[in-house]
Amino acid sequence: MAVLIRRAEARTMRVVMIGANGQLGSDLVSLGTAWDLIPLTRRELDICDFVHCRTVLSGARPDLVINTAAFNRVDDSEDEPSSAFWANTYAVHNLARICGELDYRLLHISTDYVFGGEKRVPYTEEDPPNPLNVYGVSKLAGEYFVRDLCPKHFVVRTSGLYGVAGSRGKSGNFVETMIRLAKEGRPIRVVDDQVLTPTYTHDLAQKIKELSDTEAYGLYHITNAGHCSWHEFAARIFALLGLNPDFEPTTTAAFGAKARRPAYSVLAHRNLQAIGIDILRPWTEALEAYLRAKSYL
């Protein structure tokens, strides 16, 4: 096992947080007491504007830039490819180029949707990507810019995010949507042929902090442990809350979403373990923790 390389600096790390009001960004901001934190929303920093972005970042002089900003509406990306590529590729190119030129460290969030779902065992960081949709292509292109232009980088792929703050672009998150539909008495049909690992952003934020305290730059998969289908995830939510909605499994084909999605996108955590960092707790435990944090339990 590789020896974990930790940063030697004793002073508090100055961190620029891009996408600070998002679902993951909010949980990272909550770690602010551990950092000299500069939280930035789109209003304060437009990463699509290279000159503005370089001016802001050069003035901030951070030890680390964390980018959680993205256009993550997967189906909308099929109709709005320019929106997906501006946010997930061109803006990331700007960040990577600026951080590389200024010798800043950059931690960028990517997705399991860079994979095509051909495997039936967890994808490692060494497996070749094969995205099936515009969103996945745009995120993979952003990854390549980070890895090519910024030597001191961390690229973190994750999946199925849900957090207390919710996703503004998705009107909450999957857990909240399931609870709302159940309480409204609506029929619920959830696909049972897409397998992934739902990941609690609180847990992911803690692990990102741990990784950022090292100089072990590279590509990492970070999710909660285990895996399930979206249908199994929903069933677990209902069981924990004692809900009994009109709930049945369906198939991807029958559901008819605009964007193709991988049938299997479970991520292995090989690189994280190789540097001596423990993986996250099982997704079942994380879900219970989320429901308690939201006062559902």
Single out the catalytic residue among 104, 135, 200, 217: 135
Task: Name the one residue in this structure whose structure tokens are 């442990």.
Answer: 225
Task: Name the one residue in this structure whose structure tokens are 């099982």.
Answer: 282
135 given a catalytic annotation: yes
3-state SS assignment for residue 99: helix
DSSP assignment of 68-81, as one string?
Answer: ------HHHHHH-H
> What DSSP character marks residue 88?
I
3-state SS assignment for residue 195: strand
Helices (H), 37-184: 50-60, 74-79, 81-85, 91-102, 134-149, 174-183
Task: Name the one residue in this structure whose structure tokens are 């299997």.
Answer: 264
Q: Which residues pair with 195 in a beta bridge?
A: 229, 264
3-state SS assignment for residue 204: helix
3-state SS assignment for residue 38: strand
> What DSSP character marks residue 117?
S
Q: Which residues are catalytic?
A: 135
